[in-house]
A and B are shown apart, each in its own frame.
Chain A
């Protein structure tokens, strides 16, 4: 089992550019989560999917953020246009059941927007 795979590991971009983060969940997991981690706010849930369907995106900070899950093995988180305050580590996680199942995290993408 390869675990949750995220790419890229690091992304440095200029303000105003589009950024796309990618995630491959563990095969067979029905739930996929996108989190953002900053020093100020800790880990924040941005959005989660169940069986490829977005269930709640209330954590998405604003319309510049969008997430898709076109199939069970792939999800993207897009920021357009990016801003310096978007700089953070973005984690993807998956689990087989939501409430009573461990979360499996990817290694994260460290985003720096200059």
Chain B
């Protein structure tokens, strides 16, 4: 079992839909990162959070430390949101980041 699991692996939705991507982890963490990778490869850090909720524009990230679960939400989705969304966790015990496999999101116009 992977220590960081994302779901779904692939998600296709229509423009305007509310999107939720989930990340579950099985280890103690100091922080959780959400990143976005567009076709063509660039990686952008969206959020880094260790508790609660953060919002940036149409993106919202939440984390429940007790349940070891985080969600990334996109409101009013747009085709330009099409990308791979990656969850990664920083461990308490060392410096390593453990990466989820990513969720490939396609938003159709």
Q: A: which residues have CB within 8 A of B?
A: 37, 42-43, 45, 48, 55-56, 89, 91, 93, 98-105, 107-108, 110
Contact = CB atoms under 8 A, between A and B. Distances in A.
Nearest to A93: B43
A104 B99 contact: no
B43 A100 contact: no
Interface of B, secondary structure class, is strand
A110 B41 contact: yes
B95 A105 contact: no
B48 A102 contact: yes
Nearest to A104: B45
A103 B86 contact: no
A42 to B, nearest CB: 6
- Which of B31, B44, B95, B102 has most chain A Cβ within 10 Å? B95
B65 interface: no
B43 A99 contact: no
B96 interface: yes
Interface in B24-67: 30-31, 33, 35, 41-45, 47-48, 50
Contact of A100 (B50, B86, B102): B50
A7 to B, nearest CB: 14
Report the contact-size class of chain B (Cβ under 8 Å from the partner).
Answer: 20 to 34
A93 to B, nearest CB: 8
Nearest to A100: B31
Contact of A42 (B47, B96, B101): B101
Nearest to A101: B48
6 contacts: A42-B99, A43-B88, A98-B95, A103-B45, A103-B97, A105-B44
A108 B40 CA distance: 10
A89 B48 contact: no
B64 to A, nearest CB: 18
B104 to A, nearest CB: 12
Contact of A105 (B45, B99, B101): B45
Contacts of B88: 43
B90 interface: yes
Q: Ordered nearest first, which 4 A-B pairs have the shortest CB separation? A: A105-B43, A102-B45, A102-B48, A107-B42
